Amino acid sequence: MAALHSIGTALLLLFVPQVSSSGTFELRIEEFENARGLLAAGSHCMPACRTFFRVCLKHFQKVVSPEPCTYGSVLTSLLGSNSFRVAVNQSPVRLNFTFKWPGTFSLIIEAWNSPSNLPSPNVTSPEMLISRFAIQRHQPVGMAWSHDVLRGDHTQLHYSYRVVCSHHYYGDGCSDYCRPRNDTFGHYTCGQEGQRLCMVGWENEYCAQPICQPGCSTEHGYCDRPGECKCHFGWQGPLCDDCMHYPGCLHGTCQQPFQCTCKEGWGGLFCNQDLNYCTHNKPCRNNATCTNTGQGSYTCTCQPGYTGKNCQSAIRKCDSNPCSNGGTCTELDDSYSCSCLPGFIGQHCEDSTLTCTDSPCFNGGSCSERSEGTHYTCTCPLGFTGLNCEQKVDRCTSNPCANGGQCFDLGLSRMCRCQAGFAGQRCEINVNDCARSPCANGATCIDHINNYTCACTAGFSGRDCSQPLGDECDSRPCHNGGTCHAGVYGKSFVCQCPFNFMGSLCEIPVFPSPSQKRQQPPNPFPWVAVSLAFGLMAFVMLLCILGIALRHMQRPHGGQHRDTETMNNLTESQRDNLIMASQLKLTNKKVDLETDCIMEKTNYKDRNYALDWNLATGLKADLSQELKCHKNHKCKKEESLPLRNSCSEKLACRISTISSAQDLMYQPVYRTAEGMLQDVITEV
């Protein structure tokens, strides 16, 4: 019974595969020769050697030891007596392993004699051993069989072996596991080398991720089944690449959900105010990009090949100075040409026909001869370049500074001075004014060039949205039917006026009605201003009268003789210009002129002296020129002054010695009713 149990166990191990194994070592006994039916000890089997085999598989050893069988051992059934062949369809001996196959092994094959028709459970009994073979081999994984022959003293064994991977195991060491599946954990089949082959519509390492609709955003979209495109919250569109705008945003875009970044030419919280310079004027030319910088200013980002404030000028090809060695650049339609100086040739005048004997190097460069190419080469000092050291190094020629930055050449380096709102070595970085999070209370910050705005949430206002808003519309501040809106555009409230009213509170009528015009009171006559003006004029006149009176009182009395002498010193031409009595007009004809030396009592003045008027006591003035007596009545002091025309008795002393019309300032005197002489003044 014990023998039967051992044989059953061996058969179970031989024919029942181990599911958990990664590979199997298969051994096929093909032919065994024991012609004389001998045991290993030399005795004969009685009646014949009923042969079965014990196979021991172990790790590689240079000297194979009998035990232990580290990879396993197995007993075969009775295969024959003495010498025999095993049928080809006979199942091979299988030894399963659960590790990565190392590629080498040691194998012990023992032939045993069974005293009965079943394998003996006691295979260690030396008297039953027929023969023992031990080998060390290298065997890769594969379906091909390796054939071998082992020879002993009186036996010979023909056998084959191979190593194959178990189902779902692949690779050189049967260590790659691949089991086809189509469930939540994967959707794939297995290739010949154990690689996972994803089914149509699935991807990633385990083929568990569905392939979404072509073009579906990998960042903002997802799918549960192949061909779908579902959007994350805040994104929309067939491909989930369109962000949702802030509610009410009219002319704005967004980079993230619920933003309202205004398009060019639009402003306001909802991008509904058309107020930008670029939109109204479109100053940038040649497809340049216009950017508003606030308060009516702008900048133009030019397309390649154009420059200028408005990108109006095309960059000429000669501006880059392509001609070397002093060559002259000439613009062509689609290119340019270089006119070289004597001694230079080439498309850009880069080749020289000179030698060092011609001293071609400028600016202190040193010349050295060359055997190939140009005949010489110049070693330029610091700050110069070119074939002949003729070009001064200017690092700003290529306009490296972007966004209107100013370039400065510092010799070995260059520096860009950026305009406000830009930074970086080349002024290429637009400073993000929102980086410091200036907006409070959950407001959204919108970055501009050198500025920012805050889109306030409901209930807050101010530049930084830090001021809480009350409902200012409760007090109904808007007049004339205006509609009040609280918390709009960052203000406490805004009045929306009817078409015929304006103002912050709709209090100003745009077109007043006739009744409103009649209700307006007429403008009163400015009596106060007129009274002040007359009072000021009277005060000035009073000051003038007082000044004239003081001046007249302070005049010296010694002026008579001086004026008389001045009058007597008239030139002959001036005397010829004396006015006749018939040309004089007296305002009082009833007054009789006195003929006798009346002029002695008269005060004389220079003809160019202005008369003083006395309004209080009557006008009293000095004659500008001396009256001369007629016929026998002459003044004692005036005998030396001849008269051109004589006066009649009735017109005695009526002639006034008046100078020429050019110098005439006054006219003669007349007698008033009180007998006082008065000057009649007539200005020429």
Q: What digits encode the pLDDT tens for the residues 42-56?
A: 888 888 888 999 999
| Domains recognised in the chain with CATH numbers | 2-170 (2.60.40.3510), 178-210 (2.10.25.140), 322-392 (2.10.25.10), 469-488+490-502 (2.10.25), 560-684 (no CATH)
pLDDT at 259 over 50: yes
pLDDT given for residue 232 in this prediction: 94
pLDDT given for residue 60 in this prediction: 94
Mean of the per-residue pLDDT values for the chain? 75
pLDDT at 193 over 90: no
Query: 10 Å Cβ neighbour count for 630?
Result: 21
Question: Please, what's the largest Cα pairwise distance for the chain?
Answer: 217
pLDDT at 309 over 50: yes
pLDDT given for residue 403 in this prediction: 85
pLDDT given for residue 534 in this prediction: 87
More confident residue, 402 or 577: 402
Structure tokens at 400: 């490296």
Q: Does residue 251 sit in helix, strand or coil?
A: coil
pLDDT at 514 over 60: no
61-75, 90-104, 273-287, 431-445, range with the lowest pLDDT: 273-287
Q: Rounded to an integer, what distance in angstroms lies between the CA atom of residue 158 and that of residue 175?
A: 31
204-208, 519-523, 529-533, 607-611, range with the lowest pLDDT: 607-611
Mean predicted confidence (pLDDT) in 651-657: 36
pLDDT at 346 over 80: yes
Mean predicted confidence (pLDDT) in 396-416: 82
On whether the CB atoms of residues 422 and 431 are closer than 8 A, the answer is yes
pLDDT given for residue 415 in this prediction: 87
Q: Rounded to an integer, what distance in angstroms lies between the CA atom of residue 636 and that of residue 649?
A: 20
Could you tell me how far CA 676 lies from the centroid of its own chain? 99
pLDDT given for residue 511 in this prediction: 65
pLDDT at 469 over 60: yes
pLDDT at 494 over 70: yes
pLDDT given for residue 450 in this prediction: 75
Q: Rounded to an integer, what distance in angstroms lies between the CA atom of residue 586 and that of residue 234?
A: 110
pLDDT given for residue 652 in this prediction: 37
Burial class (CB in 10 A: 0-12, 13-18, 19+), 479: middle
Q: Rounded to an integer, what distance in angstroms lies between the CA atom of residue 159 and that of residue 27?
A: 7
DSSP 8-state code for residue 656: B
Q: Which pairs with CB-CB distance under 8 Å and at least 24 residues apart come from 86-90?
A: 86/28, 86/29, 86/30, 86/31, 90/28, 90/29
Q: Does residue 549 sit in helix, strand or coil?
A: helix
pLDDT at 7 over 70: no
pLDDT given for residue 639 in this prediction: 38
Q: Within a 13 Å sphere around the CA of 112, how many CA atoms are in the beta-carbon half?
A: 27
Mean predicted confidence (pLDDT) in 275-285: 80
> Which stretches of 285-436 are assigned E, i.e. beta strand?
289-294, 297-301, 306-307, 313-314, 328-331, 336-339, 344-345, 351-352, 366-369, 376-379, 384-385, 391-392, 406-409, 414-417, 422-423, 429-430
Rg of the chain on CA atoms, in Å: 66
Q: Rounded to an integer, what distance in angstroms lies between the CA atom of residue 351 and that of residue 430?
A: 44
On whether the CB atoms of residues 623 and 681 are closer than 8 A, the answer is no
pLDDT given for residue 569 in this prediction: 41
pLDDT at 276 over 50: yes
Q: Rounded to an integer, what distance in angstroms lies between the CA atom of residue 34 and that of residue 133?
A: 14
pLDDT at 488 over 70: no
pLDDT given for residue 242 in this prediction: 92
pLDDT digits (tens, 9 = 90+) for 585-622: 333 443 343 333 333 333 333 433 333 333 333 433 34
pLDDT tier for residue 523 given thresholds of 50, 70 and 90? low
pLDDT given for residue 515 in this prediction: 52
Q: Does residue 180 sit in helix, strand or coil?
A: coil
Q: Which residues of 250-271 are buried (b: 16+ CB within 10 A; e: fewer)?
A: ebbebeeeebbbbeebbbbbbb
Q: Rounded to an integer, what distance in angstroms lies between the CA atom of residue 656 and that of residue 627?
A: 5
Q: What's the pTM value of the predicted model, to 2 decimals? A: 0.35
pLDDT given for residue 388 in this prediction: 80
pLDDT at 503 over 90: no
pLDDT given for residue 513 in this prediction: 55
Mean predicted confidence (pLDDT) in 667-680: 38
Instruction: Name every residue whose Cβ is closer than 8 Å to that of residue 86 and which is 6 or more positions away in sequence.
Output: 28, 29, 30, 31, 79, 80
Among 9, 27, 281, 310, residue whose Cα is nearest residue 145:
27
Length of the chain: 684
pLDDT given for residue 139 in this prediction: 93
On whether the CB atoms of residues 96 and 166 are closer than 8 A, the answer is yes
Burial class (CB in 10 A: 0-12, 13-18, 19+), 155: buried
Mean predicted confidence (pLDDT) in 334-346: 83
Q: How far apart are the first and last CA of the chain?
A: 174
Q: What percentage of the chain exceeds 90 in pLDDT?
A: 26
pLDDT tier for residue 73 given thresholds of 50, 70 and 90? very high
